[in-house]
Structures are given as C-alpha cells and as structure tokens.
Amino acid sequence: MQTVQNITESIHYVGCNDRRLEKFENIFPLPNGISYNSFLINDEKTAILDTVDSSVTEQFLENVQGALAGRDLDYIVVNHMEPDHCGNIVELSRLYPNGKIVANKKALNFLDQFYPQVDLKENYHQVKEGDTLSLGKHELTFIFAPMVHWPEVMFTYEKTEKILFSADAFGTFGALHGNLFADELDYDLLYGEECRRYYTNIVGKYGKQVTKAMGKVSEFDVQMIAPLHGPIWRKDTSYLWDRYTKWSAYEPEKKGVVLVYASIYGNTASAIDYLATRLSNLGVTDLRIYDVSKTHPSYIIADIFKFTHVIISSSTYNLNIFPPMKAFLDEMAQLDIQNKKYALIGNGSWSPTATKQLTQFFAEFKNWENIAEPITLSTTLSETQKNEFDQLAAGIAASVSA
C-alpha cells in the first residue's frame, strides 16, 4: 500500500521505514528502527531526491509510481551515495530510463564502483558546487558538504519553497510513526537522544566539516529541513541548528559526569558506584554510569559528547585493559571526540597494568584535560583506599562546579 505524504503541494515524501533491521551499518543498534527518506518534486519536470535502502525497494517503488501518477521521471538527484540512500538508483533507472542522474564527480565515481554490472553513463548529469537545476517553478541549488558523513555528500536547496535537503545531516535513528513533521510529535521524547546518538557516532568525527557546511547553508533562507533519516523540520529549526552548532564545535551541552567501567567480577563496578554516590553527596548532578560489557558504545559516546566530564575505569586482563573497554576506547578514539575533562582508575590482582595503559591511551587524545592522578585498585576498594576515592570525588566535584 502506498505511504506517500505531501510535504508541500508539489513535493511528496516517498521514503520508507525499516523496523526490523537490528543494526545500522551492521554496528549501531536500532531499537526503534530507521527511516530512509526520499522526496519527489512534481513540476514541469519531475525529480526524485535520493532513493532508499535495497531492503525497502518494494514499498519505495510503489510510492514513487503513486506519486508520479503515470508521469515519467526526469531527474534522480544523488545527495549521498551511501547504500542506504543509493540502493535504488539502478532500479529507478531501469524503470525510468530517461531519468538523468544528477550528482557530483565523486558520487558518479562511487556509482561506477558500486554497480559495475550496469552502465548508466549516458544518463549522468554531473554538477559542480553552486550549480542550479530548474524544474519549472522549482529550482535546485547544489551545496557541497564533503565529509558530512562521506566525501561526495552534497545538500540540495530548493529556492521556491525554501527547503534544504540536508542528506544525513539533521537526521536521526528511529523509524517514522506516521507523523512526518517534527512539530507533529514530541520530538525530544521520541528522537531527542537518538538524534544525538546518530550525530555523534555517524558524523561526530567531522565537526570541522559540519561547521563549514553550516556556514554555507546560512547564506540561504531555509524554512524547512528535510534530512534523509527521521522527521522533517518546518518549525523551530533553531532547536536543531543550535544542537548541531554545539556538537560540531565539541562544546558540551551540560555539566555532568559519565562514569564508564569495565569489570569482570563486579569490584570495579562497585568502586564506581561508591564514587558516584560520593559525587552525588557532593552535589554533582547528571551522573551517568555505564558498563561497557553491557551497553553499546554508541550510547556511551553520545553521553560523552553531551557532558563535560568522563571517568574511565577498567580491570586488568592478561596484562591488558579488559577487552570490552579496549574495544570501546578504540571506537571512541576513531571519533576524535574533543574538549573533555577526565580521570582514570585501573584495577588488578597481581600486575595491574590497566592503569598505565589507560594513561598512555588518553595522553594521545586532543584537548582532553586530566583532572586527577590515576588510581589503581587491588581487586577491591579497601577501607584504606576509600580516602583516595573521597579525594578524587572532591576533585571531580570542584572541577564540575568550576
């Protein structure tokens, strides 16, 4: 059954939801699914802006055919050549052989790589930064946004209705609930956290490039933002814009402490519970405790972006950091998170090397400020070491309130 919705009189939503997929990019858990957004402009010429993942082809084609109502497709605009969005270009080209593929050089190179079995070169319509394409009443301008996820990414601005088609930027995990617009539901409740988890894990590494792309966009009068995942914004776009401004500058949103531990038998966990209790007694609010063996790194990384302080603690395992913590740290290091205050705790029963290894690891991080000497536990938090923990708590509390 068709699930087309009108964004404006002549711009239609033809995207689809997947609520079955377990992991986005085969790594990020999707407890609430994902939407793959796609937009069809019905003017003197017809154009589709991005396609959808191959897992939802059937629904997508039904939507496109319904929205076109027998018309031919003149243009397929490719803002992002990642498979979750380009997965139906070949299929559309087969159904609409006259459709020109509007994309930049990098995207067309990827198209050649991804689908060597077909040759669509005759239909290529290569665009450069700032090029425009008239569809009749509607005019598209292409704004390059390299590394706002991938190198070929571009945004498309539609002049008449003042819509920014923003590729992955401003998107979120979480399928749509029928309500297409962010103002039709409680966005903060349904997508607020997931939008942060999406940004920080998918685009978080590329803060500089996001800032640059936002600078280009600010030259345009944007009344609506249509990302490739999640709801569309036609009101209060400053909410989203402000969040992105902070995130791309690695500016914490709130004072607070994320305590991340890796614990084999629970002793490190217990020490962290003690530390958090002390912090709370000292008036520190917004504490978050995570066990890396339990919680997927993407959730922890989102909170690390959000808050000012991070405490990392790990037991030693065969003279190394406990592997789940090591995996977490590797994932975090890849994202180049910046501007954090941190302290470290190691644990071990005979040769507690984790402390030193954690220290070495964090020394490499850009713009991370160590606020306390690392502490090493001998299996349990003993009465004699409680004092050290109390001092650590006092130091963290002072730093948070500074």
Binding region for ligand FMN (CB under 6 A): 263-268, 315-319, 347-352, 379
Residue whose C-beta lies closest to ligand FMN:
348
Q: Which of residues 76-115 bind Fe ion (CB under 5 A)?
A: 82, 84
Q: Say which entry of ligand FMN, Fe ion, none residue 149 contacts (CB below 5 to 8 A, set by partner kind).
A: Fe ion
Which CB atom, from 228 or from 311, has the smaller least distance to Fe ion?
228
The number of beta carbons lying within 10 Å of the beta carbon of residue 349 is 14
Instruction: Give the helix/strand (H/E) hosting 47.
Output: strand 46-49
Query: Closest distance between Fe ion and the C-beta of residue 83, in Å?
Result: 9
Residue 325: alpha-carbon gap to chain centroid? 22
**Does 158 help bind Fe ion (rule: CB under 5 A)?**
no
What would the two tokens of residue 352 be?
Answer: 């507690």
x/- letters, 268..297, toward Fe ion (CB under 5 A): ------------------------------
Angle between helices 207-217 and 237-248 (to 10 degrees): 140
Question: How open is the CA angle 194-336-287, to the nearest 5 degrees?
Answer: 55
Q: Say which entry of ligand FMN, Fe ion, none residue 168 contacts (CB below 5 to 8 A, set by partner kind).
A: Fe ion
Which CB atom, from 117 or from 318, has the smaller least distance to ligand FMN?
318
**Does 53 help bind Fe ion (rule: CB under 5 A)?**
no
What would the two tokens of residue 131 be?
Answer: 């090029």
Which CB atom, from 22 or from 186, has the smaller least distance to Fe ion?
22
Instruction: Give the helix/strand (H/E) hosting 318.
Output: none
Which CB atom, from 122 or from 350, has the smaller least distance to ligand FMN?
350
**Cα–Cα distance for residue pair 64/40, rounded to 1 Å:** 8
- Tell me, by CB under 5 A, how many residues bind Fe ion: 4
Q: Say which entry of Fe ion, ligand FMN, none residue 136 contacts (CB below 5 to 8 A, set by partner kind).
A: none
Question: How open is the CA angle 168-171-176, to the nearest 5 degrees?
Answer: 125
Alpha carbons within 13 angstroms on the beta-carbon side of residue 181 total 14
User: Site residues (CB under 5 A) for Fe ion?
Assistant: 82, 84, 149, 168
